[in-house]
Amino acid sequence: MTAAEPFARFAYQRHADQARAKPASHPVVIIGAGPVGLTLAIDLKLRGIDCVLLDDQDRIGGGSRAICFAKRTLEIWDRLGCAAPMLDKGVRWNVGKVFQHEELLYRFDLQPESGHKMPAFINLQQYYAEKFLVDRAQALGVDLRWLHRVIGLQSGDQGACITVETPDGIYLLDARFAIACDGARSPMRAMLGLEFMGEQFEDQFLIADVRMTADFPVERWFWFDPPFHGGQSCLLHKQPDDVWRIDLQLSPDADTEHERRPEVVRPRIERMLGHDEFDLEWISVYRFQCRRLERFVHGAVIFAGDAAHQVSPFGARGANSGVQDADNLGWKLAAALRGRTGLIASYDQERSQAADENILNSSRATDFIAPRHKAEARFRNAALALARQTEFGKRFVNSGRLSTPTAYAESPLSRMDTTPWAAGPPPGAPIPDAPLGNGYLSETLGQGFALLHRQGGAEAKGAEGLAIIEVFDQDEALIARFGLTSGAGYLIRPDRHVAARFHQVTHAAVTAALRKANAA
């Protein structure tokens, strides 16, 4: 129960690389077959880059772990061809509610407008997400090696040599790039002697996955000081298979092993639900951590996901941010392997900005949910009181600002605006989805750069390999979301952030912006 049974197991297989007299050489070796490593491996495969994906286990672990996958993450997985089973299995939700005691403070809707292919969030146990990603990776022929543990690493600017331990012994691999997606306890980080910067908070939280039949709505419910858990906070979320995620705040000095015992957990859940008709699926205790590496790129070794940065679970910024790391990195690795190596430095700059943004939001949420000082507690109590009386007061209540993709405001790859725009995402920002023709913009974009162009003015001419997507007057929602006047356009990066936008598209302007976006 506290150590859930594996969700899936995979057989160890001996690889031909293990019999070579000299180390086999691969363009990319990814360490860690979690959501981040799998996403990156699939992305690279679709870009024509063969990689090796190593994992030191032979299984997908049980226990829900990450459960909230955001719209942006779903759009990434849709591009990679694996979102459909996740949407079929996942619980879709857009609405959340925040309570104090038993009183509803406010309700929020994360996707109030229509015209998006993906919901604001789905709740899906991480083991399902990983299994769907493994299925997609295997269908594409990704070289996925289970029970291949990295035990040694030598790295320079031109490549890395990786020592791998298996049930059949040890072998070596050479890689132009080694990508560490090996989690919060990253052995790769330890091998390079790298330390996290940041802080670990004292308060602890109990996670319980509870299987029961309940008629609660499919919403995120968060309580401050509920009657069933006085002086603390609580979170309730629905997952597939009649499983509910419950987070309960514990005191900083709570005994972790004691609190994990089912005979201790059950009475807490019974007080919350008012009945005992449930089964405990999984129990864990965690502390908030908001930490990151100073740099994510160390020569040929690049860090992504929890190996690079950690945040508290409130706000669903951990796994979602990691998948967005992979989305940012995949096209840049493919370009670097084809000679455009300058793009790798932009991964560090852009995703460092994202990590800082996520850590800031996560730290603020932590301070509000579990104030450490009397001044913080007074502010929290005043904000909650104000939220009961005014609309603007609700903006001060922080039960975890939910994950949104980062706008790279100072990206070296962006051509900045020179004149104002009335609407639309600025350079560096992620693009919104919108209806286009009989489908959605997100379905129309491919794996490379694209020029989104509204008819009128000069004819849109792009560089070789640049997809041109024409927008017509009937695409009203898209035109409004992008602020597209006649002849205007957007240059969109492979990771679907804005590289540049033009009031009037010209071949010269597009070519110059494309060169900048490729760090050429």
Which CATH number goes with the domain that contains 471? 3.40.30.10
Collapsed DSSP state (helix, strand, coil) of residue 80: coil
Exposed / middle / buried, residue 422 (Cβ in 10 Å: 0-12, 13-18, 19+): exposed
Band (2; pLDDT cuts 50, 70, 90) = very low
- CA–CA gap between residue 380 and residue 78 (Å, rounded): 39
Flag the least confident range among 124-133, 213-222, 307-316, 409-418: 307-316
Q: Among 14, 142, 123, which residue's Cα sits nearest to residue 65?
A: 123
Q: Is 370 a domain residue?
A: no
Q: Is 71 a domain residue?
A: yes
Q: Is 156 a domain residue?
A: yes
Q: What is the dihedral of CA 434, 440, 446, 452, to 10 degrees?
A: -50
Question: Token pair of 480, please?
Answer: 């409004």
Band (28; pLDDT cuts 50, 70, 90) = very high
- CA–CA gap between residue 229 and residue 221 (Å, rounded): 14
- CA–CA gap between residue 82 and residue 76 (Å, rounded): 9
Q: Is 96 a domain residue?
A: no
What pLDDT is stored for residue 463 in this prediction? 67
Flag the least confident range among 86-90, 153-157, 191-195, 285-289: 285-289
Flag the least confident range among 135-144, 210-219, 464-473, 493-502: 464-473
How much is the average pLDDT of 182-198?
Answer: 95
What pLDDT is stored for residue 458 in this prediction? 56
Burial 45-76 (b: 16+ CB within 10 A, else e): bbbebebbbbbbbebbbbbbbbbbbbbbbbbb
pTM (two decimals): 0.95
Q: Among 87, 390, 138, which residue's Cα sits nearest to residue 240?
A: 87
Name the domain boundary from 324, 342, 359.
359
Q: Please say whether the beta carbons of 371 and 377 come within 8 A.
A: yes
Give residue-wise pLDDT tens across range 424-437: 999 999 999 999 99
Q: Is 409 a domain residue?
A: no
443 and 307 fall within a common domain: no
Q: Is 507 a domain residue?
A: yes
Instruction: State phi, psi for 53 to the nearest 5 degrees.
Output: -115, 115
Q: Can you name the residues that pair with 243 across neighbouring β-strands?
A: 211, 239
- CA–CA gap between residue 83 and residue 60 (Å, rounded): 19
- CA–CA gap between residue 181 and residue 22 (Å, rounded): 26
Question: Token pair of 126, please?
Answer: 């991480």
Flag the least confident range among 88-92, 253-257, 363-367, 461-465: 461-465
- CA–CA gap between residue 425 and residue 58 (Å, rounded): 43
Band (460; pLDDT cuts 50, 70, 90) = low
176 and 300 fall within a common domain: yes
Q: In whole angstroms, what separates CA 485 from the centre of its chain?
A: 33
Q: Among 426, 464, 451, which residue's Cα sits nearest to residue 505?
A: 451
- CA–CA gap between residue 269 and residue 281 (Å, rounded): 13
- CA–CA gap between residue 76 and residue 84 (Å, rounded): 12
Structural domain that includes position 164? 8-89+120-196+293-359
Quick check: 289 pLDDT over 90? no
With a pLDDT cut of 90, the percent of the chain lying above it is 80
- Identity of the residue numbered 150: V
- CA–CA gap between residue 310 and residue 299 (Å, rounded): 22
What pLDDT is stored for residue 33 in this prediction? 98
Quick check: 520 pLDDT over 90? no
Q: Please say whether the beta carbons of 169 and 180 come within 8 A.
A: no
What pLDDT is stored for residue 201 in this prediction? 79
Q: Please say whether the beta carbons of 411 and 349 come within 8 A.
A: yes
Quick check: 315 pLDDT over 80? no
What pLDDT is stored for residue 1 in this prediction? 43
159 and 72 fall within a common domain: yes
349 and 442 fall within a common domain: no
Name the domain boundary from 307, 339, 359.
359
The CATH number of the domain where 44 resides is what? 3.50.50.60
Average pLDDT over all residues of the chain: 93
353 and 451 fall within a common domain: no
Band (371; pLDDT cuts 50, 70, 90) = confident
Q: In whole angstroms, what separates CA 137 from the centre of its chain?
A: 18
Flag the least confident range among 334-338, 363-367, 386-390: 363-367
CA distances from 356 to 47, 112, 242, 284, 348 (A): 29, 27, 36, 27, 12
- CA–CA gap between residue 406 and residue 428 (Å, rounded): 9
Residue 320: count other Cβ atoms within 10 Å of its Cβ.
26
Band (152; pLDDT cuts 50, 70, 90) = very high
Q: In whole angstroms, what separates CA 333 from the centre of its chain?
A: 19
What pLDDT is stored for residue 252 in this prediction? 87
Name the domain boundary from 333, 359, 385.
359
354 and 450 fall within a common domain: no
E strands, 32-120, are 51-55, 59-60, 68-70, 91-93, 95-100, 103-109
Per the rule left: phi > 0, alpha: psi between -120 and 50, beta: everything else, 44 is: alpha
Q: Among 151, 154, 181, 153, which residue's Cα sits nearest to residue 166?
A: 151
Q: Is 473 a domain residue?
A: yes
Q: Please say whether the beta carbons of 456 and 411 come within 8 A.
A: no
Q: Please say whether the beta carbons of 328 and 278 come within 8 A.
A: no
Q: Is 406 a domain residue?
A: no
Helix axes 35-46, 126-140, angle to 10 degrees: 30
**Which residues are within 8 A (CB) of 21 and not within 5 positions of it... i.e. 6 or more apart?**
none
Collapsed DSSP state (helix, strand, coil) of residue 153: strand
- CA–CA gap between residue 98 and residue 232 (Å, rounded): 14
Higher pLDDT, 1 or 387: 387
How much is the average pLDDT of 401-407?
Answer: 88
300 and 154 fall within a common domain: yes
| Torsion sign over Cα 478, 479, 482, 488 | positive
- CA–CA gap between residue 488 and residue 74 (Å, rounded): 28
Give the total number of structural domains in the chain: 2
Quick check: 314 pLDDT over 80? no
Q: Please say whether the beta carbons of 425 and 498 come within 8 A.
A: yes
Quick check: 78 pLDDT over 60? yes
